[in-house]
């Protein structure tokens, strides 16, 4: 078995029938069943490219996002922002193939009582894998509905035990200039950095995603592990994370450094606060056709009931 998960939940119970069937065909075709049974994470260093990925085992279904129509696997994995692989939407899928995602370790450090170097197997033991269907909204004005597979970030925070000084968490992405062509160009100040306030990081909606559509993440979506914060603009979700730092002071993020008047620390989805160069009132749902009517963007991307209280008393025009 790939990872030690409670044996009472089988993936056929929790995965949409068509996805499961399709995946079984694929695993048979690629002989991946054997690799997964024998292997462990370190044999899976090919989690990039455009094809399907190995299945994740024992995913618990949750009620999140059940009412939404999912964006197709193809759209989710071929229309990406991942500037380390190039700035066009197509380049990440084209260029992520040489990026090595196994073995992988995340250094968890800073203001914690128990700093750790976590391998993927250890990370996956922190909590049962859950499916979380989330609306995702890019600051550019498009959105998707993505069936992520992941664990609550709170489970990692609990493991390392933040000190009383820890107020923020910083997420640092990989920056390997040998395999990431974008990193060789001065597009952004590499490595890509994002950060959350500790209470945002602990919120039950915040996850570390390891997969989508029941499979391991493809390289272009942030393999092997990335942050997902569904009430914030997409850029808050740092991909291919190698370092997580607990700190006392609010960190400068990559996008704040690149354009501080356009990208603030909070980056909460908010239809009433426009980007200085465009409106944020509506969005285009990817996969519904170029000429389909845009839909209204919701406050906190539709998660206001769950996360609104995190921002009580704050001026969200100032803290954009
Ligand atoms: N390391 C890194 N993380 C990143 C980005 C990036 O360029 N580099 N782009 C961000 C942006 S702008 C968005 S919209 C989302 C896109 O995630 P997706 O391609 O999985 O939909 O990733 C975010 N995470
Ligand atoms: Mo984005």
Q: Is the C-beta atom of 211 inside 6 A of ligand 1?
A: no
Burial class (CB in 10 A: 0-12, 13-18, 19+), 259: exposed
Q: Single out the residue of 166, 195, 313 nearest to residue 254, CA to CA.
A: 195
For residue 11, the CA-to-ligand 1 centroid distance in Å is 28
Domain count of the fold of the chain:
1
Q: Is residue 311 part of a domain?
A: no
CA of 266 to the centre of ligand 1 (A): 16
- Whether residue 189 is contained in a domain is answered as yes
Is residue 316 included in any domain, yes or no?
no
93, 149, 173, 239, best to mutate for ligand 1 pocket (most atoms within 8 Å of CB): 239
Q: What's residue 258's pLDDT?
A: 97
Q: Which pLDDT value is given to residue 140?
A: 98
320 located within any domain: no
pLDDT per residue as tens digits for the range 212-236: 999 999 999 999 999 999 999 999 9
By three-state DSSP, how is residue 274 classified?
A: coil
Check residue 96 and give its pLDDT: 98
Q: How far is CA 3 from CA 59, 119, 129, in A?
A: 11, 12, 10
- The answer as to whether 314 is a domain residue is no
175 lines ligand 1 (CB under 6 A): no
How far are the Cα atoms of 108, 207, 217 from residue 133, in angstroms, in the given order? 27, 11, 15
Residues of the chain with confidence (pLDDT) below 70: 1-50
Determine, yes or no, domain membership for 5: no
Position in ligand 1 atom list of the atom nearest CA 238: 3
Residue 135 Cβ contacting ligand 1 at under 6 Å = no
User: In the prediction, which pLDDT does 50 show?
Assistant: 55
| Closest ligand relative to 242 C-alpha | 1
Round to whole Å and give the CA distance between 244 and 102.
Answer: 18
Residue 249 and residue 208: Cα distance in Å, rounded? 22
For ligand 1, say whether the CB of 154 is within 6 Å of any of its atoms: no
> What CATH number should be reported for the domain holding residue 111?
3.90.420.10
Residue numbers belonging to the annotated binding site: 80, 83-84, 138, 173, 221, 226, 237-239
CA dihedral sign of residues 237, 5, 76, 32: positive
Range(s) of the domain holding residue 282: 11-306
Determine the Cα–Cα distance for residues 199 and 308; give it in Å rounded to an integer. 12
Contacts of residue 2, defined as CB under 8 A and 6 or more positions apart, other chains included, come to 36, 37, 39, 40, 41, 56, 57
| Degrees, nearest 5: CA angle 31-36-41 | 130
Would you say residue 312 lies in a domain?
A: no
15 inside domain: yes
CB 3 within 8 A of CB 124: yes
E-only strand ranges, the chain: 105-110, 116-119, 130-137, 142-152, 168-173, 193-197, 207-212, 215-216, 226-228, 241-247, 282-285, 295-296
């Amino acid at each position: 078995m790939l990872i030690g998960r409670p044996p009472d939940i089988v993936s056929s119970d929790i995965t949409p029938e068509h996805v499961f069937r399709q995946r079984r065909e694929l695993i048979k075709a690629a002989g991946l069943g054997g690799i997964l049974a024998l292997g462990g994470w370190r044999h899976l260093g090919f989690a990039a490219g455009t094809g399907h990925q190995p299945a994740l085992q024992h995913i618990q279904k949750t009620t999140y996002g059940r009412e939404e129509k999912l964006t197709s696997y193809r759209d989710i994995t071929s229309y990406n922002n991942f500037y380390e692989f190039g700035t066009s939407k197509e380049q990440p899928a084209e260029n992520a193939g040489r990026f090595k995602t196994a073995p992988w370790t995340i250094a968890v450090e800073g203001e914690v009582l128990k700093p750790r170097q976590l391998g993927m197997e250890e990370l996956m033991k922190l909590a049962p894998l859950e499916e979380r269907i989330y609306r995702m909204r890019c600051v550019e004005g498009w959105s998707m509905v993505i069936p992520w597979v992941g664990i609550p970030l709170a489970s990692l925070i609990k493991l390392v035990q933040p000190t009383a000084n820890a107020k923020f968490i910083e997420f640092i992405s990989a920056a390997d200039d040998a395999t990431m062509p974008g990193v060789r160009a001065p597009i952004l100040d590499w490595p890509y950095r994002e950060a959350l306030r500790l209470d945002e990081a602990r919120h039950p909606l915040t996850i570390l995603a390891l997969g989508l559509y029941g499979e391991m993440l493809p390289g272009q979506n942030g393999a092997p592990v990335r942050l997902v914060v569904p009430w914030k603009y997409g850029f808050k979700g740092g991909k291919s994370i190698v370092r997580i730092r607990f700190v006392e002071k609010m960190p400068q993020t990559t996008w704040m450094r690149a354009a501080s008047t356009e990208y603030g620390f909070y980056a909460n989805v908010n239809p009433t606060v426009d980007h200085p160069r465009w409106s944020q009132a509506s969005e285009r749902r990817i996969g519904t056709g170029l000429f389909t009517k845009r839909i209204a963007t919701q406050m906190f991307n539709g998660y206001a009931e769950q996360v609104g209280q995190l921002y009580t008393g704050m001026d969200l025009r100032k803290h954009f």
